Structures are given as structure tokens and as C-alpha cells.
Amino acid sequence: MKSLRYSLKLIGLAVIATVLTGCLASCRPNALPGQAPAQSPDSEDPTRLTVLAAASLTDVFQEIGAAFTVANPGSEVIFSFAGSQQLAQQLNQGAPADLFASADEEQMAIVAQSSRIAQARVRRFAANRLTIVLPSDNPGSLFTIQDLARPGIKLIVAAPEVPAGRYTEQFLVNAANGPELGPDWVNLVAENIVSLEPNVRAVLSKIALGEADGGIVYDSDLTNYFPERVDNIQIPAELNIRATYPIAVVEDGEQKELVQRFIAFLFDPEAQAILRRHGFESVAPQ
């Protein structure tokens, strides 16, 4: 009995010691892995920037990031692309980052609530519009915007929780109020929607695969990814929305100097030209 109690005490001590060691080595307050990059920006790595950016910025930001690294040798930019609403939640839960670029103002405001970004320091760096995308072989025979309402057509859009989905709803409201299309058109279109995707790139992918007859994505999505597999129908300017992309420094990020250089770079002619090349509208720096 005595030896059993002794062994138990030993094991208990060993377990406690292991747990404590593990905790001290890796515990960080407010660390949430999730889809954020596994490595956090800290003082051991003075040249790495962590940027959380909306899914629609995937290709353009990667190119801008590469250009930035060339202009700033020794620096590294790590991106995490996802629906802005996902990134906003991650930031509010404490995900480590230096910059947040959202596809709409709402998600930026949500992050401002947790004070991880300062609303006063938010700047808009690009704009985007919606467009109707279809597979290049046009299985649904869509030629005009009215065709979207044809019964039996399959449409996919981003979920209303996603900025692209919210913009889509806004466009539909505009269409309902406008003289050309009206509420009947909107109702028929709504009936044709078969899926609400968690980000705009998922919409694009499924269209490119030919799974649906049409979808609503950003103008910028047309130039990326699968330009030869998709086609588009333009949305009339008076019905379209204008999505402005805000970007903000994460207040508790550690790369204070590098992050300012990235923002300056973003508003430089080179980056703005890259944005335009990817289908975004460039915005005057604010």
C-alpha cells in the first residue's frame, strides 16, 4: 500500500509538471489559431507582416505582396484570405495580425468594436462592383440580365453573412426599386438561387465547374483564376453597388514601421496599377 501511494504521488507530480511546462511554453492570452497563420508576429521576427484580407483580394494582394517584398528586401508578407466576416470574428477573438483588409465597412466596424483597430485610422484603398458571372459554355443560355429570372435557371450567390452576399442583396433591392426589372424579377431570381456560398471565391469556383448557370461575384473576380472558363453579363451602373475596401492597422501588431510602409506602398502608383489590372477600381488615398 505504501509503495502504491508513493507511485501515485510520483505520477501525479509528473503529470502536473508536464502540464505546467506545456502551458508556460505555449500559453498566450487571446491566441486563436483557426485559419489565421500559425506563426504570430513577434519581436523574434522583425520583418514579417501578417495581413488578414478578404477572399476577393487573394490574387491582387499576393501580387502586391510580392512587389512589396521586392521593394523591401528582407521583408516577408504572410496573408490569410477568407470571408471578411470570418476574419472579423477571428480578430475579435484575438487572432494575431498586423493589418486587416475587409471587403466592406461593416466588418471593419465589427472589429473596431473590440478596439483592435481604430476607426479613425481606417483608409479605403480600392473599390469593386458586382457582375453576373456564367460558365463560358453558357448552359443556361443567359444573354441579358432579364434571363436570370427564367424559371429553371440555377443561380449561386454568396451567403448574406458575407460582404459579397450583402452587396448582392443590396443590388437586388436596387433592382426591385428600379423601373426596368422590378420586384417580380427579383422574386423569380430569388427562387432560382440554389446555394449561398460562404465566400465569393466558392461561387466563382462552382460557376467555373459549370455546376450552376450563373452567379454574382465581383468585377475583380473575373480577371482572376479562371478567366477562360467564365463569361459575364454586366450589371447596369445605376443598379450596381460600389464596394469600398477599407484597410486598417491592427493596433496591437508589432510591426509598426513595416506596416506603415506597406500601407504607403498600397497607395503608390505601382500597387494601384496592380489593383486596376485585377479589375478593382483604385481609390484616391485618404
Partner 1 sequence: MSGQIDKPRLPPLLLLASLPLILFLAIPLLALILNVPSAQLLGHLTDPLVAQAIRLSMTTTILTTALAIVAGTPVAYLLARFDFRGRTLIDTLIDLPIVMPPAVAGIALLLAFGRQGLIGRHLSAFGIEIAFTTAAVIMAQSFVAIPLYVKTAAAGFRAASRDLEQAAMLDGAAGLQTFRFITLPLTWSILLTGAIMSWARAMGEFGATIIFAGNYPGRTQTMPLAIYLGFEIDFDVALTLSTILLILSFGVLFVVKRLLHQQIAAMH
Binding footprint of partner 1 on the chain (CB under 8 A): 4, 7-8, 11-12, 15, 83, 85-86, 88-89, 92, 139, 154, 156, 159, 161-162, 193-198, 206, 209-212
Burial of 94 (0-12, 13-18, 19+ CB in 10 A): middle
The CB-of-148 to partner 1 minimum distance in angstroms stands at 16
Residue type, 128: N
Report the residue number, 40 or 86, with the smaller CB distance to partner 1. 86
Burial of 88 (0-12, 13-18, 19+ CB in 10 A): buried
The CB-of-200 to partner 1 minimum distance in angstroms stands at 13
The CB-of-194 to partner 1 minimum distance in angstroms stands at 4
Q: What kind and span of H or E run contains 267?
A: helix 256-267
The CB-of-89 to partner 1 minimum distance in angstroms stands at 6
The CB-of-38 to partner 1 minimum distance in angstroms stands at 18
Q: Are 160 and 173 in contact (CB under 8 A)?
A: no
What are the cell numbers at 143?
444573354
Report the residue number, 15 or 66, with the smaller CB distance to partner 1. 15
Report the residue number, 225 or 267, with the smaller CB distance to partner 1. 225
Q: Strand 123-128 vs strand 243-249: parallel, antiparallel, or unpaired?
A: antiparallel
Report the residue number, 77 or 88, with the smaller CB distance to partner 1. 88
User: Whats the size of the chain, residue-wise?
Assistant: 286
The CB-of-11 to partner 1 minimum distance in angstroms stands at 6
What are the cell numbers at 232?
459575364
Report the residue number, 168 or 272, with the smaller CB distance to partner 1. 168
Angle at 246 (CA atoms; ends 90, 176), nearest 5 degrees: 100
Q: For 147, phi and psi rounded to 5 degrees? A: -60, -20
Report the residue number, 44 or 228, with the smaller CB distance to partner 1. 228
Q: Which residues pair with 5 in a beta bridge?
A: none
